[in-house]
Amino acid sequence: MAFTVEAECALTSEGDELYLCGADPLYGAWEVSLAVQLRTSPEQWPMWTAQLPCMVGSEFKLLIRRQQERVDWESIGNRIMPDTPSPDQTLFLRFGQREMELREKTPVLAPIRALTLPVLLADRPRAGSDGYRCRFISSAGECNCLSERYKLEETTIGEGGFGSVHKAWDQALGTMRAVKRIEKSKALSLEDVNREIEMLRVMDHPNIVRLYATYEDERFLYLVMELCEGGELFDALAEATHLSEPVVQVAMRQVFGAVAHCHSKQIVHRDLKPENFILQKNAEVETSPLKLIDFGLATYCRENEELTDAYGTVLYVAPEVLGEKYNHACDVWSCGVLMYCLLCGSPPFHGKNESDILAKVVRGRYTMRGAHWMPVSSQAKHLVAKCLQKDVQQRISAVGALNHEWFACRFGEKGVETPRDLHRDLLSNLKSFCVAGKANARHVTSFLRRRRRLRSKIP
């Protein structure tokens, strides 16, 4: 008996194909060339469907066949085909997530009509913009307003200077989203909003918050985004009872992965800090994906191009940004500061005020000695040092960080240091730092403007 399989997979580009492959000969007998292909369209993406015979108890997995003949399997254990579903039921899967669900019927996908804004930075590269992901976001159709597809909740889950964030039920896909509602009259620049949308629509990475659709009415812009309910990274860690180096390793692998993806699209985030990494769900850091958010200060930066306008947050800004001559490597420095904080509970550069902090950042001197660093492995210290290398030419790249020996460490195995809990004061220090850091978060732009004004008054 045949039944419908529906899979959600947003990790594909134009020309990639999604397959189901399993132990049973009808599923390909684990031969990729014989696997069952799932189908999609620009209107359906990221949903893929296929009609399959139900082989109860048979093991199977999803895989992506890339254009270059590379095959990416789901990074989970084998799935098990559930008890025979009826022809009226659909087996629903998400690529890379073990959970499966039998639904009574396949949701009818409503097409999305995107917000039409003037195209900016036309000479900038927009890698992958012709792929299914961008088509899904920008395709026009019969769904002309937000309320036709989404049921918006009035209760806010977040607020900012330009508007608010609400939960919204996607009536077509049967899932919850987050809608960022931006009040046009309060937005400093609609061009900046447009640039942020353009960046989000070309990025497709499991550790970067996803943009699904955009809408507009006379008063508001609406960005339909992935819902993340787990809170900020540091807040989640501060609530834990203990913290070990392998947990930091899990978090930093995702941080560097998100940054490497940004850089592959020639995008520099420029404001990497703990508040901009949130957990997708309310769970432990080891089990909930991290998501990079807030691309409000991000910009494009071609290879060999240098940026000259200084942006960032005082505690995490790279020294070359203060010199107003920098490139994508500034993000790696911020990752190094973040990793340093996670391993010892305090930042590498601190002082009585922002002037003191930035003076130490410019000097680039810090220490990894003392009791707080005793439990930390030599490999972790080496990676921090490579990220906090003042010489940009000597600084490691985000991809280089992912390939660093620290991420290959299997703590506890023969020849590898046994992991110990990090210093007992780390979590309390981290908690205090979270509170103080948010209260004293300052962007370097205002500091540099004050410094220029003072210099201009000197005869």
Active site residues: 271
Rounded distance, CA 238 to CA 243, Å?
9
**Mean of all residue pLDDT scores within the chain:** 81
- Mean predicted confidence (pLDDT) in 87-91: 78
How many angstroms separate the Cα of 176 from the Cα of each of 149, 173, 281? 12, 9, 12
* pTM, rounded to two decimals: 0.68
Alpha helix positions (H), 178-322: 190-202, 233-238, 245-264, 319-322
Domains and CATH numbers, the chain: 2-103 (2.60.40.10), 132-225 (3.30.200.20), 233-455 (1.10.510.10)
For residue range 177-188, list pLDDT tens digits in order: 999 998 887 776
pLDDT at residue 138, as a whole number? 39
Residue 12's pLDDT band (cuts 50, 70, 90)? confident
Whether residue 343 has pLDDT greater than 50: yes
For residue range 187-202, list pLDDT tens digits in order: 767 778 888 899 998 8
Local structure of 63: helix, strand or coil: strand
Axis crossing angle, helix 378-387 with helix 329-344, rounded to the nearest 10: 140
Question: Is 180 one of the annotated binding-site residues?
Answer: yes
Question: Do residues 386 and 377 lie in contact, with contact meaning Cβ atoms separated by under 8 Å?
Answer: no
DSSP string computed for 410-434: -TTSTTSPPP-BPPTTHHHHHHHHH
Rounded distance, CA 60 to CA 58, Å?
7
For residue range 28-69, list pLDDT tens digits in order: 888 888 899 999 887 788 889 998 887 888 889 999 998 767
Residue 63: both structure tokens together: 């895989």
Q: What angle do CA 73, 77, 83 make, to 5 degrees?
A: 105
The DSSP symbol for 392 reads T
Whether residue 413 has pLDDT greater than 80: no
User: What phi and psi, each to the nearest 5 degrees, are found at residue 341?
Assistant: -60, -40
The DSSP symbol for 204 reads -
Whether residue 105 has pLDDT greater than 60: no
Of 79-88, 147-156, 304-313, 354-363, give the lowest mean pLDDT range.
79-88
pLDDT at residue 87, as a whole number? 66
pLDDT at residue 126, as a whole number? 38
What percent of the chain clears pLDDT 70, i.e. is strictly above it? 80
For residue range 203-234, list pLDDT tens digits in order: 889 899 999 999 988 888 899 999 998 888 88
pLDDT at residue 131, as a whole number? 41
Residue 25's pLDDT band (cuts 50, 70, 90)? confident
Whether residue 291 has pLDDT greater than 90: yes
pLDDT at residue 133, as a whole number? 43
Which residues are within 8 A (CB) of 142 and not within 5 positions of it... i.e. 6 or more apart?
Answer: 110, 111, 113
